[in-house]
Amino acid sequence: MRVHLGTDHAGLELKDHLVEWLRKHGHEPLDHGPDEFDAEDDYPVFCLRAALAVVDDPGSLGVVIGGSGNGEQIAANKVEGIRAALAWSEETAELARLHNNANVISIGARMHSVEDATHLVEVFLATDFSGEERHVRRITMLKDFEEAGSLPEGPAASAVLGAGPPD
């Protein structure tokens, strides 16, 4: 599988480790930078490129890395067609794919050991989307909003909007 990676200075060592780990495990890593440490670099420069590459490369997945992973997830999610999930446990890495069909995982390099972070990526890559109707429906709602600004319909939305059943 092709895996696009982007990070900032805080995740540079982890990214470099993952590039080698991915190669060893039969994946094709595509490194969107940075190539060298710069304490003043900005994660959007690299994470947006990795996310755009995932969208342009059907069937690929992405890994974005930073100190906490929060900003990197936010950056990736600004790209139309990306569903980036911040993984902090094996379960969140698995559910990101299984339920949300996430195509990018975000990792906080300062939050995990190299071994634990690698395991999160391994679980993410090894997990397939379940395809269950409820998850497909929810992802479609998000896609419709992303593309056209269409708010989802349903009983909960009607109650919130004051369009619930008459008194």
Closest CA to 66 of 112, 123, 126: 112
135 given a catalytic annotation? no
Give the pLDDT confidence score for residue 150 in this predicted structure: 86
**In whole angstroms, what is the distance from residue 158 CA to residue 142 CA?**
17
Fold of 2-129: Ribose 5-phosphate Isomerase B; Chain: A, (3.40.1400)
**Catalytic pick among 4, 9, 27, 72:** 72
Choose, from 99, 122, 135, 146, the residue flagged as catalytic: 99
3-state secondary structure 139-150: HHHHHHHHHHCC
List 84's β-bridge partners, or say none. Answer: 104
Tens of pLDDT along the chain (167 residues) come to 999 999 999 999 999 999 999 999 999 999 999 999 988 899 999 999 999 999 999 999 999 999 999 999 999 999 999 999 999 999 999 999 999 999 999 999 999 999 999 999 999 999 999 999 999 999 999 999 989 988 998 766 555 555 544 44
pTM: 0.90
Mark whether 99 is an active-site residue. Answer: yes
pLDDT of residue 161: 58
What residue spans define the domains of the chain?
A: 2-129, 131-161
